[in-house]
Structure 1
Amino acid sequence: MKTHLALLRGINVSGHNMIKMDALKATLENIGFKNVQTYIQSGNVFVTSEEESPAAVGFKIRQEIYRAFGCEVPVVVIGKEDLEACFRNNPFLQEKDADIKKLYVTFVSKELSVNAIHDLKMSQVKPDEAAIDATRIYIKYAVGAGKTRFDQKYIEKKLNVTATMRNWNTVTKLLEMYEES
């Protein structure tokens, strides 16, 4: 049995794709996932499954959400190792006086090339900054996530991936929850 973290994109935002977490939990348990645990309303769901493949788990969750709730919800599934790598590899944490409130991680659906940072055309979103590490994009916003065009839609368009973004406090809490399970 393996524990996976499913990061759902775009649920319970501005009245769209409204899914109650207790209903989501029951739905996922009904299709065989074990130890289903959600964190906040924005779509962070831990599931345990005999399925090893994150892609297969994500596909199954996405299909069931559509069947049960009628919502097309992109899902990126990651493991504990991926969250641990966030803490090891986030270059913005190394900066003196790093403002945690301006740090985000975008998880993407496929491994990015070394040249992907050029594809993001960061000069168009300055003074925001980014660094790429495999299937993660570390972001440091100059002002904040609500005042930039460098969002997940921008990333998806430039890199042709499915992306979902979490702030650093959420990433920290999700790793704590992984370690507790």
Structure 2
Amino acid sequence: MTTHLALLRGINVSGHNMIKMDALKATLEAIGFQNVQTYIQSGNVFVDTEEENSAKVGFQIKQEIFKTFGHEVPIVVIGREDLEACLRNNPFLKEKELDIKKLYVAFVSTTLRSDNINDLKISQFKPDEASIDANRIYIKYAVGAGKTRFDQKYIEKKLNVTATIRNWNTVTQLLKMYEEK
């Protein structure tokens, strides 16, 4: 049995793509996922399945959400090792006087190259900062996520990927939940 974490993008935001987590849980259990557990209303869902391929798991969840709720929801599926790598590899964690509330991670649908950071043209968003690591982009917003144009839509357009962003507190809580499983 493999535990996957599905990160759903764009649900329950400003009254759009509304999905109650208990309804989502029941829907995923009905199609065979086990030990379905959600965290907050923004679409973080743990599922256990015999399927090891995360892309197949994501596709299955995406199909079922569309079929049941009528929403086209982009999904990035990650494993425990992705969250562990976040804690090990986030370059901003080494800074003194770090405001954790300004740290975010964009999880993307494919492995990136280190030179993809040039494609993002992050310098035009200074003083926001970013760093790429495999299928993650670590982001440190100068003011906050709500006051920047360096967001998931921009990342997707520039890199031609599916992306979903989580704040640092959510990332650490999801890892804690993985460890408790």
User: Does TM-score exceed 0.5, indicating one fold?
Assistant: yes
Alpha-carbon distance in structure 2 between the residues aligned to 1:67 and 1:178: 28
Alpha-carbon distance in structure 2 between the residues aligned to 1:58 and 1:137: 20
Asked if residue 140 in structure 1 is aligned to residue 140 in structure 2, the reply is yes
Alpha-carbon distance in structure 1 between the residues aligned to 2:160 and 2:125: 18
Alpha-carbon distance in structure 1 between the residues aligned to 2:180 and 2:44: 15
Aligned to 1:128: 128
Asked if residue 70 in structure 1 is aligned to residue 70 in structure 2, the reply is yes
Alpha-carbon distance in structure 2 between the residues aligned to 1:161 and 1:125: 20
The residue identity in structure 2 corresponding to 1:139 is I
The residue identity in structure 1 corresponding to 2:119 is D
Structure-2-length-normalised TM-score: 0.99
User: What runs of 5+ residues in structure 2 fail to find an aligned partner?
Assistant: none
User: What runs of 5+ residues in structure 1 fail to find an aligned partner?
Assistant: none
Aligned residue runs from structure 1 range 9-158, under 5 A:
9-158=9-158
The residue identity in structure 2 corresponding to 1:14 is S
Alpha-carbon distance in structure 2 between the residues aligned to 1:75 and 1:123: 28
Secondary structure of 1:157's counterpart equals helix
Structure-1-length-normalised TM-score: 0.99
Alpha-carbon distance in structure 2 between the residues aligned to 1:163 and 1:125: 18
Secondary structure of 2:7's counterpart equals strand
Offset of 1:98 from its aligned partner?
A: 1.1
Aligned to 1:2: 2
Offset of 1:123 from its aligned partner?
A: 1.7
Alpha-carbon distance in structure 2 between the residues aligned to 1:57 and 1:147: 34
Aligned to 2:178: 178
Alpha-carbon distance in structure 1 between the residues aligned to 2:54 and 2:97: 35
Alpha-carbon distance in structure 2 between the residues aligned to 1:123 and 1:3: 37
The residue identity in structure 2 corresponding to 1:91 is P
The residue identity in structure 2 corresponding to 1:72 is E
**What are the Cα deviations for residues 14-60 of structure 1, in whole angstroms up to 9, with x where unaligned?**
11100000000000000000000000000000000000001000000
Offset of 1:153 from its aligned partner?
A: 0.4
Number of paired residues?
Answer: 181
Secondary structure of 2:96's counterpart equals coil
Secondary structure of 1:85's counterpart equals helix
Alpha-carbon distance in structure 2 between the residues aligned to 1:88 and 1:97: 19
The runs of 4+ residues in structure 1 deviating greater than 6 Å are none
Alpha-carbon distance in structure 1 between the residues aligned to 2:29 and 2:126: 44
